Structure 1
Amino acid sequence: MYKTLIKYIPEKAIPLVEYLINEHKINLKIVNQRETKHGDFRTFPNGQTQITVNNNLNEYQFLLTLVHEIAHHVTHKKFGRVQPHGKHWKTVFQHLMLPFLRPDIYPNEILPYLANYFKNPKASTDTDVNLSLALRGGKAESGKSFIFEIPNGTVFQFKDTLYKRGNKRRTRYECLNLMNNRVYLFNQNAEVKLTASNI
């Protein structure tokens, strides 16, 4: 397991992760990037369970996503069917993640945002803009830009659809879908591709 994990998570986190995987008999599968999620937890009709995590995440995102999904597994084992991101899961996630909140695993640029997030963890870390940016080192994926970085009126591509960036509404941006003329709200840390005319 060590040889696999060293490619994906900080080295100092490996013993803790190996312990969790063995202790809870985790069936982990590392998969290609999915646009809509970083990872997931599944139960099958035969009682087996499986955790998947995207292979394109950096080591800090990967570790957080993996522990997020292990928390689903542990919650399922302890409490059965409960609200997916309800109080049982939050408590388990906080408990499992605590040993990883150290400067030899997560750098000091990320730790304060993680500590703040864990006061009340949400279903997706992407909804916490500051944490999401810190986990990515403040950089969008190669060839993409964060929506907050592009000027108003810029046309961009998101999941094969063209949008035009509009005004900011509290924490999100109004963006016009150029196919159906409807306005959608985008998180300010959404990663988008600029069209050729804007580059």
Structure 2
Amino acid sequence: MCSIKYLYNLLVNIVDLSSFLTEKTIKKINSWEEKFNVKIIVCSPSKSRLGVFIPKRHDYHLIKINNNLNKYTFLITLIHEIAHAVIWQRYGRRVNPHGEEWKAQYKEMMLPFLNPEFLPEDVLRSLSNHMINPKASSVRDLELSMILKKYDKHKSTFISEINDGDEFYIDNAKRFVRMKKLRKNYQCKEISTGKIYRFSPLAEVKLI
């Protein structure tokens, strides 16, 4: 993702959210930007997170969102981060970032979007279940993540979709073979070294 200093220098070029959200969602998001003194910036993807909230350092809070998210993942991530802005303004550092206060705020802000006007049926159903007790990241919800990935422009193959014995490689070009499914993850062996690794079900792979 972009550095914080770089972000503040870019604020004269705030992104047009119409490139990332549906028309029906933009009005509400823009009202929250003004109400909670938030600036939204879209950056090159981070491998560790979809978005991040940065508390006010000058005249406003910053929210960074990855630029490769589909419109539904973008919306969910953005509301997640705006909820952080609200909780920060209300409590500062006095509460857990993903504690009960944040969960309640996130649910309240997501509720208007939990209908077919904004989300396709499969996303709506899975997200509704997720919001009963939202996690610190939607990526930790395997079912929701898999459904959201269906709407990405560039389709991915997950390790959970291949078979034991299949050989694959990942971004760093290391080659592996999938051995077996564990309780949550997948046990794999690096072909060149024989070392054993565990992969998340959402690990993106390329079959050999």
**Shorter-chain TM-score range:** 0.7 to 0.9
What residue is the counterpart of 2:101 in the other structure?
88
Go from structure 1 to structure 2 and tell me whether the alpha carbon gap of 1:129 and 1:106 turns closer, same or farther (over 3 Å shift).
Answer: same
What residue is the counterpart of 1:127 in the other structure?
140
Matched AA of 1:21: E
- The structure 1 residue matched to 2:63, chosen from 40, 51, 73, is 51
Out of 15-24 and 170-179, give the one that drifted further: 170-179
Shift of 1:51: 0.7
Shift of 1:44: 5.9
| Number of residue pairs aligned between Structure 1 and Structure 2 | 193
TM-score normalised by the chain length of structure 1:
0.85
CA distance in 2, matches of 1:138, 1:4: 21
CA distance in 2, matches of 1:146, 1:139: 13
TM-score normalised by the chain length of structure 2:
0.82
CA contact (8 A) 2:103 2:133 kept: yes
CA distance in 1, matches of 2:71, 2:58: 32
What residue is the counterpart of 1:152 in the other structure?
164
What residue is the counterpart of 2:45 in the other structure?
33
Tell me how large the CA RMSD over aligned residues is.
2.4
What residue is the counterpart of 1:186 in the other structure?
199
Is 2:17 aligned against 1:5? yes
Out of 48-57 and 177-186, give the one that drifted further: 177-186
Is 2:154 aligned against 1:141? yes
CA contact (8 A) 1:140 1:146 kept: no
Matched AA of 1:62: F
Is 2:116 aligned against 1:103? yes
CA distance in 2, matches of 1:183, 1:48: 46
Stretches of structure 1 lacking an aligned partner (at least 5 in a row): none
What residue is the counterpart of 2:82 in the other structure?
70
CA distance in 2, matches of 1:92, 1:178: 47
Same amino acid, percent of matched pairs: 35
Go from structure 1 to structure 2 and tell me whether the alpha carbon gap of 1:138 and 1:16 turns closer, same or farther (over 3 Å shift).
Answer: closer
CA distance in 2, matches of 1:5, 1:46: 22
